[in-house]
A and B are shown apart, each in its own frame.
Chain A
């Protein structure tokens, strides 16, 4: 099985993780919500797979392009 790394598209903070390790996800599914500058920005996966690991937790700061989750695809 291959791994796919999900990256943050922006600098901000992890507001809410809305999925769990082991969840099966498909292209377009929301796995977490980031917040920055009073906006909530959902992180969506762009492939089908299973969530293997989260590299960040709720409340963590993230920077643009940082890896935030790993999918098994």
Chain B
């Protein structure tokens, strides 16, 4: 096992990883920016090091500063968490070159899956179902031609990265020409490349993703699926496992097939295969995230597998049969709500002080957060305040438990999206399991009415 692992992240991700490392008997080295000086998880780590100013480019994206700590403390592992440098192949290679294991897949995987059209083509060639889409668009003319082939409506997406960032829909040629420039500029800004491509925009699709666990010896297994259809601005808000109202055989068949494809290709750490499910029974490959996922907790709750620990063990070279139990089954139902610091109707950011912050407690309730009462939510990072995860015997029980838990969650000093989450959890379609990515808009409309 590793001796000392640097946690190159912040907030709930850092808190979760520090805890997992602690459970494995590994010394956790936390990093923090000026803005996160008082983060509660820093005290739980064996060491904590300041890496720079609040702006991410000065701290959590500052490769030199992070590598400096790696060398100074003699770390033999680095966990990148999610976001920031987690999918940056250049960084992964630099970490490895410093004699430190990057806790994630090999850099070539970050590269292969990081470029979204290449990733789609790679998976499609090997039998993964994928919807209609274009390659990288050379210019406006190529975009119009591609849209003609795919058929409107289309979604303009950045090729250099995913996570729902910088995607814009277009319903006709005029709109397409209008949004292309903005999509390119957002792509350039978020991922350092202005490359964009088109995908057919599905009506009322569901976001269903599959958790993969692989080792460095050619073995890949899956931990079933999550449904993450409730999204605002293409960012997930409510995630659950298992996916409601889907034929189990179809879900398991797709999960098995994805694990088989990745196994044949030699994938070597945890990852998530994301798909859109289009009502007619079809899964369409969206992208693969070569890292820990924000919503890993719901899978942990229904399978009993500690995914972060599994990831660390895999990176350390343990074999899959020593990492996972022989039989993993789904037990009960888990739902996660992401509590964001934002206006619940317009979703505008609402940074500020956590004057009151009292997370709910109880049986089957888990709260992952990087904050404590008195912390400040700053405008520098993403708006996630806490993840509230509940586990119950069946879905309705989980919905009820989550509603009670959110009722109990006392937060003052900032606006949060809890009223939105409550409305979504009470929405008839959601309750009946008829979830789709347009549900959030319907919920907002009901809140405004």
Mark out the residues of chain B between 376 and 400 whose CB falls within 8 Å of any chain A CB in the assembled complex.
379-383
Does B129 reach chain A (CB closer than 8 Å)? Answer: no
B349 and A37 contacting across the interface, CB-CB below 8 Å = yes
Interface centre among A12, A35, A39, A40 (most CB of B within 10 A): A39
| Least CB distance, A5 to chain B, in whole angstroms | 19
A11, closest chain B residue (CB): B351
Docked Cα-Cα span, A38 to B135, in Å, equals: 27
B351 and A37 contacting across the interface, CB-CB below 8 Å = yes
B186 and A37 contacting across the interface, CB-CB below 8 Å = no
Does B73 reach chain A (CB closer than 8 Å)? Answer: no
A11 and B350 contacting across the interface, CB-CB below 8 Å = yes
| Least CB distance, A51 to chain B, in whole angstroms | 21
Does A67 reach chain B (CB closer than 8 Å)? Answer: no
B348 and A40 contacting across the interface, CB-CB below 8 Å = no
B381 and A37 contacting across the interface, CB-CB below 8 Å = yes
Interface size on B, residues (CB 8 A): 17
B382 and A10 contacting across the interface, CB-CB below 8 Å = no
With beta carbons under 8 angstroms apart, the residue of A9, A36, A41 that contacts B351 is: A36
| Least CB distance, A42 to chain B, in whole angstroms | 10
Docked Cα-Cα span, A41 to B341, in Å, equals: 15
B381 and A10 contacting across the interface, CB-CB below 8 Å = no
With beta carbons under 8 angstroms apart, the residue of B233, B379, B382 that contacts A12 is: B379
Please name all residues of chain B whose beta carbon is closer than 8 Å to the beta carbon of A39 when the two chains form the complex.
233, 349
Does B244 reach chain A (CB closer than 8 Å)? Answer: no
Docked Cα-Cα span, A61 to B350, in Å, equals: 14
Docked Cα-Cα span, A35 to B233, in Å, equals: 15
A10, closest chain B residue (CB): B348
B186 and A40 contacting across the interface, CB-CB below 8 Å = yes
B 335-378 binary contact with A (CB < 8 Å = 1; else 0): 00000011100101111100000000000000000000000000
Interface size on A, residues (CB 8 A): 14
Docked Cα-Cα span, A39 to B382, in Å, equals: 8
Docked Cα-Cα span, A37 to B342, in Å, equals: 10
| Least CB distance, A59 to chain B, in whole angstroms | 11
B347, closest chain A residue (CB): A39
A15, closest chain B residue (CB): B189
| Least CB distance, A15 to chain B, in whole angstroms | 9
If A9-B348, A11-B350, A41-B348 touch, whether A36 touches B186 (CB-CB below 8 Å) is no
| Least CB distance, B365 to chain A, in whole angstroms | 26
Interface centre among B342, B346, B349, B352 (most CB of A within 10 A): B349
A 40-51 binary contact with B (CB < 8 Å = 1; else 0): 110000000000
| Least CB distance, A18 to chain B, in whole angstroms | 11
Docked Cα-Cα span, A38 to B341, in Å, equals: 12
B185, closest chain A residue (CB): A40
If A36-B349, A36-B351, A37-B351 touch, whether A11 touches B379 (CB-CB below 8 Å) is yes
A10 and B349 contacting across the interface, CB-CB below 8 Å = yes
Interface centre among A10, A12, A41 (most CB of B within 10 A): A10
With beta carbons under 8 angstroms apart, the residue of B189, B346, B383 that contacts A37 is: B383
Mark out the residues of chain B between 274 and 330 whose CB falls within 8 Å of any chain A CB in the assembled complex.
none
Please name all residues of chain A whose beta carbon is closer than 8 Å to the beta carbon of B349 when the two chains form the complex.
10-12, 36-37, 39, 41
A62, closest chain B residue (CB): B379
Please name all residues of chain A whose beta carbon is closer than 8 Å to the beta carbon of B352 when the two chains form the complex.
11
| Least CB distance, A23 to chain B, in whole angstroms | 19
Docked Cα-Cα span, A11 to B186, in Å, equals: 21
Docked Cα-Cα span, A64 to B348, in Å, equals: 10
Docked Cα-Cα span, A41 to B233, in Å, equals: 12
Interface residues of B (CB under 8 A from A): 186, 189, 233, 341-343, 346, 348-352, 379-383
* Given A36-B379, A40-B189, A41-B348, 5 additional A-B pairs, CB 8 A: A11-B351, A13-B379, A35-B379, A37-B383, A64-B350
Q: List 13 A-B contacts (CB under 8 A).
A: A10-B348, A10-B349, A10-B350, A11-B379, A37-B341, A37-B349, A37-B380, A37-B381, A37-B382, A38-B382, A40-B186, A40-B189, A41-B348
List the 5 shortest-distance A-B pairs measured between CB atoms, nearest first.
Answer: A36-B349, A37-B349, A36-B379, A37-B383, A10-B348
